[in-house]
Chains A and B, each alone.
Chain A
Amino acid sequence: MQPFEYHRASSLEDALRQGALEGASYLAGGTTLVDLMRIGVMRPGRLIDLRDVSELHGFDTGGETLRFGALASMAEVADDIVLRQDYPALAESLLLAASAQLRNMATVGGNLLQRTRCLYYRDTRYSACNKRNPGSGCAAQDGVNRQHAVLGGSERCIATMPSDWAVALTAFDAAVEVAGPQGRRTVPIDSFHIPYGEHPEAETALRPGEILTAILVPASRAGRASCYVKVRDRESYAFAVSSAAVALRLEGARVAEARIALGGLSTTPWRAVASETLLRGRTIDEASIREAAARAMDGADPRPGNAFKVELGRRTVEDALLRAMRRAQEGEAA
């Protein structure tokens, strides 16, 4: 690990001031940062610890806008009774992520800023990784790419974005609030993670020195009939091979609103727009669900190691839609 100075910020202003210094990185739960520093992938010379900045803590799941302070832990948000009832997909995306220990440490803001688990990115013995080493190539294109993306990749990078929470937030049109030297701004979640194109090293819309302060989710009546389905190589404590966050609002038997986002399959959280459009106004049943799921992987560009993900992605969406349909119907009956 490269040596670094440590500063525990006392306020947001203090943090922003320190964060503007050369080589600075913000420290939240450290579950991405400390890990990547130890293996030499990240090399900050200065850590600005945000844990004592009180305005970044806390969250509120009532009201017209749900607000999650960036430093709220994944565990405390996942355990929130209101969230579990009114937005099960959001709670489940956190609960099915990492482990109980990591969820106690990790923050909901840091979660959106975690780095890919691409093996070549994490292993500095491989020089060819455009993300870690811009312009060096991409070892995954012809390498071991089973875990890589089939949607949104380019010949420069096909790394998946590993956050489950970001996928669920995408389904609900969340936004990210940031504070910087120039003041505050809000970025819609679907433009927060940047498509790879030419520059896979640029990952998010966060500018140098900016602090992610909160995550905002507009209240949605589709929230109650929502779910997060995560397919993993083992039953628990693993990243998604594929996942889907789905929310439905029915009017009688018809779909008034369908929200579908995919994870584990794409380079950024992925909205399955074609599937949503196909469902809207349709009668909800197994047939319409199958038809919608068939469109979820439109535009997929698989590699030999991950071709199975095209079918897996369809089935994940189908499964999630069926579960959400059952939740919607139970909700109406109740």
Chain B
Amino acid sequence: MRDPSEAETDMSEADHLGTVAPRAAPPGQDNAWPVAMLTLRVNGQTHRLALDTRTTLLDMLRDHLGLTGAKTGCNQGACGACTVLADGKRINACLTLAVAAQGQDIITIEGLAKGDALHPMQQAFVDHDAFQCGYCTPGQIMSAIACIHEGHAGSAEEIREFMSGNLCRCGAYPNIVKAVQDVAGQGDMRFPGKGGV
């Protein structure tokens, strides 16, 4: 769960990223293991937290920042449910170590809407009924905006190929392709790249 004392906003950039050596175990834990003092920018906010070096970006987002939009599916890079943007590139947060994600602008599904106004891709998923259970949806949406931004959404066939890293157990694929085509056809989609939202 999120511990509000762990997250501070508007901290300056980490000054350096030297060796992260073992520290004393946190209170209530018996083993000592390497703990890192991390500085991460997520959805335009800077967070500083002390974490076990083994923490993945996905677990950090979900368990330490309370951003549970990115989902844990396979935890092996095989399903895309954990897709987020790092400096404007879509990545699998489950195979990314939080400690290695320092210095990059991370954008999650929570960072897309402007207040109550959904991002056009979120709206398109609603309009085209592009989900059933919704578990894969945050990953699909993050992947879809990157797919368009990369210039890989020129046809339904190209969208299917470049969205193949996002599986949907409910089989909502036909409507997902329609949603992506819809937004691709609207032109100049808002895209959070390096520098954040």
Given the known inter-chain contacts A49-B100, A101-B90, please indicate yes or no for A5 contacting B21, CB distance below 8 A.
yes
Chain B residues lying within 8 Å of A237, measured Cβ to Cβ, are 164-165
Who on chain B is nearest to A234 by CB? B164
Q: Contact at A51–B100, with CB atoms within 8 Å?
A: yes
Q: Contact at B80–A5, with CB atoms within 8 Å?
A: no
Who on chain A is nearest to B53 by CB? A6
Determine if A85 is an interface residue (Cβ-Cβ < 8 Å).
no
Chain A residues lying within 8 Å of B34, measured Cβ to Cβ, are 3-6
> In the bound complex, what is the Cα–Cα distance between A236 and B96 (angstroms)?
23
Q: Contact at B165–A100, with CB atoms within 8 Å?
A: yes
Determine if A35 is an interface residue (Cβ-Cβ < 8 Å).
yes
Q: Contact at B95–A35, with CB atoms within 8 Å?
A: yes
Other than the known A1-B54, A4-B54, A237-B165, what 8 A-B pairs have Cβ atoms closer than 8 Å?
A: A3-B22, A5-B53, A6-B20, A7-B18, A7-B19, A34-B97, A100-B163, A101-B92
Q: Contact at B143–A101, with CB atoms within 8 Å?
A: yes
Q: Contact at B99–A105, with CB atoms within 8 Å?
A: no
Q: Contact at B89–A104, with CB atoms within 8 Å?
A: yes
Determine if A30 is an interface residue (Cβ-Cβ < 8 Å).
yes
Determine if B77 is an interface residue (Cβ-Cβ < 8 Å).
yes
CB distance from A74 to the nearest CB of B (A): 12
Determine if A8 is an interface residue (Cβ-Cβ < 8 Å).
yes
Q: B residues touching A (Cβ–Cβ < 8 Å)?
A: 17-22, 31, 33-34, 36, 52-54, 56, 75-77, 80, 83, 86, 89-92, 95-97, 99-100, 143, 146-147, 150, 152, 160-166
Q: Contact at B147–A31, with CB atoms within 8 Å?
A: no
Determine if A254 is an interface residue (Cβ-Cβ < 8 Å).
no
A–B complex contacts, Cβ < 8 Å, 30 sampled = A3-B31, A3-B33, A3-B34, A3-B52, A3-B53, A4-B53, A5-B19, A5-B21, A5-B22, A5-B34, A7-B19, A7-B20, A27-B97, A34-B56, A34-B95, A47-B53, A52-B17, A99-B80, A99-B166, A100-B150, A101-B80, A101-B83, A101-B143, A101-B165, A104-B89, A104-B90, A104-B91, A105-B91, A236-B161, A237-B165
> In the bound complex, what is the Cα–Cα distance between A79 and B151 (angstroms)?
10
Chain B residues lying within 8 Å of A101, measured Cβ to Cβ, are 77, 80, 83, 90-92, 143, 165
CB distance from B29 to the nearest CB of A (A): 12
Interface string of A35-48 (1 = CB under 8 A from B): 10010000000010
Determine if A102 is an interface residue (Cβ-Cβ < 8 Å).
yes
Who on chain A is nearest to B52 by CB? A3
Given the known inter-chain contacts A27-B100, A101-B143, A236-B160, please indicate yes or no for A6 contacting B36, CB distance below 8 A.
yes
Interface string of A1-17 (1 = CB under 8 A from B): 10111111000000000
> In the bound complex, what is the Cα–Cα distance between A202 and B89 (angstroms)?
34
> In the bound complex, what is the Cα–Cα distance between A27 and B100 (angstroms)?
9
The listed residue (A3, A6, A30) touching B95 by CB distance below 8 A is A30
CB distance from A18 to the nearest CB of B (A): 8
> In the bound complex, what is the Cα–Cα distance between A3 and B75 (angstroms)?
18
